[in-house]
Chain A
């Protein structure tokens, strides 16, 4: 136990924990928790697979036709499954009081929230990126399109997670109602959808995907720069 005589006296600049150390601690804990409840964590992935399977069922299953709608099916599926996954991001931590402990630990809150979002992406976005090539080939995409599809989804899911985190923070305290979160987040990620689907379509057609990928990358960087402030502000309001 820490002796308190003299060690917590006034004005002492105590050795404060650095943001990097605290962020690492948060990431390790969140990873451990996500792996312990892998059922919950993998549900959005299952949702993605199911949704992309529904498209052929609703259409004529000729691969040449499916190939045309493949970009749309993949990206709408990715969008919807991200929305589902966003529920996991803050809600439980808000309910058991651990989120406000993070707000009170003497380290910039935005950094810790970005760390949480990063782990969230690792457990929900990255698996989606890895499974997407399978779904894409099932929808008629050629194997040569796979690198382009993976690159586009990689950048796209990062942007989705960051922007979605703002929405998740804003709706944190509300009743479990996914439709407000969708209404808030989907218009804001429309550009990601546009460029991501375009990149996928180009990849399937065998053409260069550089242009939309650059734009997707720019959006991901912009999101990484601007959203931390918004996520921290939103979560603080939710914790009031």
Chain B
């Protein structure tokens, strides 16, 4: 039963329609949650006894940092699904995640630096959180660079899927190495606010911001994934029904091509094991 659901979800026209329907829901939820979270965090929460009002940037920094890692995992998982089951939807989602994740990472770094300035006196200290974020940014840039190096979308999808899978295995290792490295050198980190001890008035807005950012990510992802699917399914006939136009003739070969087989949905797991 779950398998049937999986196959339907992986069928591009079905996914396209579902994505279109869900986007406004996520969009509005994101807006409401973020507004509520910001009011709670910026206005209602009491100032921290050590950092005063400076800590409030956590309401933007922490969700960005957390999401930059979550997006990478999402990217890797959907790329793996696309690679193993040969589903265009998986690859489309992974392609959509890349820029979003990189942007979250950049904002996390920027807000981290802004937070650090009043605390450390400098914009940059090699604290474990920021250093991990920096390495994560390089992973994203590498992924995007690899994609752009291939002309054929299919090959770009498969190659970047391999990279994402290797990267996602590596991310915990990188994270713990950096934490360990940092602990040797005694660089002070003031980014922790002792989360278990955080009072509810500080914690609740933070969780709302987190949820709001997640909804924001899904909104952006669904929009981008729809665009990526259109790109990969250009010659399929279901596009005509959706857009109300004729399917694009494949260039140079004249005449309509038969329905793109990928629009029939995922194939059984490829003989990946046999190919290696």
Tell me the smallest distance from the CB of B269 to a CB of chain A, in Å. Answer: 14
Cβ of A143 within 8 Å of any chain B Cβ, yes or no, is no
Per the bound structure, the CA–CA distance linking A166 and B169 in Å amounts to 14
Per the bound structure, the CA–CA distance linking A222 and B177 in Å amounts to 15
Contact bitstring A227-240, B, C-beta under 8 A = 1, else 0? 11110111011101
Q: Which residue of B lies closest to A184 (CB)?
A: B142
A-B contacts counted at CB < 8 A amount to: 82
Interface contact A170-B162, CB-CB below 8 Å: yes
Interface contact B138-A187, CB-CB below 8 Å: yes
Per the bound structure, the CA–CA distance linking A226 and B152 in Å amounts to 27
Interface centre among A186, A194, A226 (most CB of B within 10 A): A194
Per the bound structure, the CA–CA distance linking A198 and B275 in Å amounts to 39
Interface contact B177-A166, CB-CB below 8 Å: no
Cβ of B114 within 8 Å of any chain A Cβ, yes or no, is no
Interface contact B173-A219, CB-CB below 8 Å: yes
Interface contact B135-A170, CB-CB below 8 Å: no
Per the bound structure, the CA–CA distance linking A108 and B165 in Å amounts to 21
Contact bitstring A124-150, B, C-beta under 8 A = 1, else 0? 000000000000000000000000000
Question: Which chain A residues lie closer than 8 Å to B272 at the CB level?
Answer: 233
Interface contact A109-B276, CB-CB below 8 Å: yes
Q: What is the total number of residues of chain A having a CB less than 8 Å from a CB of chain B?
A: 33
Question: Which chain B residues lie closer than 8 Å to A234 at the CB level?
Answer: 159, 162
Cβ of A69 within 8 Å of any chain B Cβ, yes or no, is no
Determine chain A's interface SS by DSSP, over half rule. Answer: helix
Assess A230 versus B142: contact at CB under 8 Å? Given A108-B276, A219-B173, A236-B275: no
Tell me the smallest distance from the CB of A231 to a CB of chain B, in Å. Answer: 9
Assess A110 versus B135: contact at CB under 8 Å? Given A184-B142, A233-B162: no
Assess A226 versus B276: contact at CB under 8 Å? Given A171-B146, A187-B174, A190-B174: no
Query: Which of B162, B177, B180 touches A230 (beta carbons < 8 Å)?
Result: B162
Contact bitstring A38-72, B, C-beta under 8 A = 1, else 0? 00000000000000000000000000000000000
Interface contact B146-A187, CB-CB below 8 Å: no
Query: Which of A108, A186, A222, A240 touches B138 (beta carbons < 8 Å)?
Result: A186
Tell me the smallest distance from the CB of A73 to a CB of chain B, in Å. Answer: 18
Per the bound structure, the CA–CA distance linking A123 and B107 in Å amounts to 43
Per the bound structure, the CA–CA distance linking A238 and B173 in Å amounts to 27
Interface contact A230-B166, CB-CB below 8 Å: yes
Query: Which of A180, A188, A229 touches B149 (beta carbons < 8 Å)?
Result: A180
Assess A188 versus B167: contact at CB under 8 Å? Given A166-B162, A229-B276: yes
Tell me the smallest distance from the CB of A226 to a CB of chain B, in Å. Answer: 6
Given contacts A166-B163, A184-B163, 14 further A-B contacts (CB under 8 A): A166-B162, A180-B145, A183-B138, A187-B142, A188-B139, A188-B170, A191-B173, A191-B174, A191-B177, A194-B180, A227-B166, A228-B276, A233-B275, A233-B276
